[in-house]
A and B are shown apart, each in its own frame.
Chain A
């Protein structure tokens, strides 16, 4: 039997590689009996979807190039 700690690692890896049949089975059995790990898996999947769909505005503060940086880049581009 795997612990919740081990299951959390396996759940994360399921987002990065194809689990073996045996691993998938182990995961399923554990999730069937464990509410917290089931939530954790759902939350990781939500995180994945949210990040993939996020636009650049959501992922950064409304950061802008400073006037100084802008001038520096403009100068450099002129010499290109």
Chain B
């Protein structure tokens, strides 16, 4: 499904790419050259097992060290309930304490005085799915057993060694006799 035929091997442009470019150009014209931002971190293909994730982003061609960024998060792709996670000049953040489920993020660039804000980037989808609790409790139990066994080994071993040392000292004292 291409707009143009491609007899001479010229790179082909899909109708989707064409429409996206058109939308982007129209938006840029309306926003009057507002700064843009995109995520650098690749979207994970599979659910993430831990409760944390690092996100990095960059400014578009109009990059300026003074730019500020706004990162927002939502529980759905439509960003019906957005929450600002970060606002400032940094270009990365470490997201900690994420609960299980789907999380969506968008980034946009702003001029430092916030006069002009660029468009929101494509959304970044992250699924958090912890490991099984059964496995966690099993390993916790294994850890407890190793800990207790080591405790018994060290306490019993050192008690026995002290007893033997004491007996040896007494024996040596008795052997050497009164001075």
A, B bound? no
Instruction: Give the interface of B toward A (CB within 8 A).
Output: none
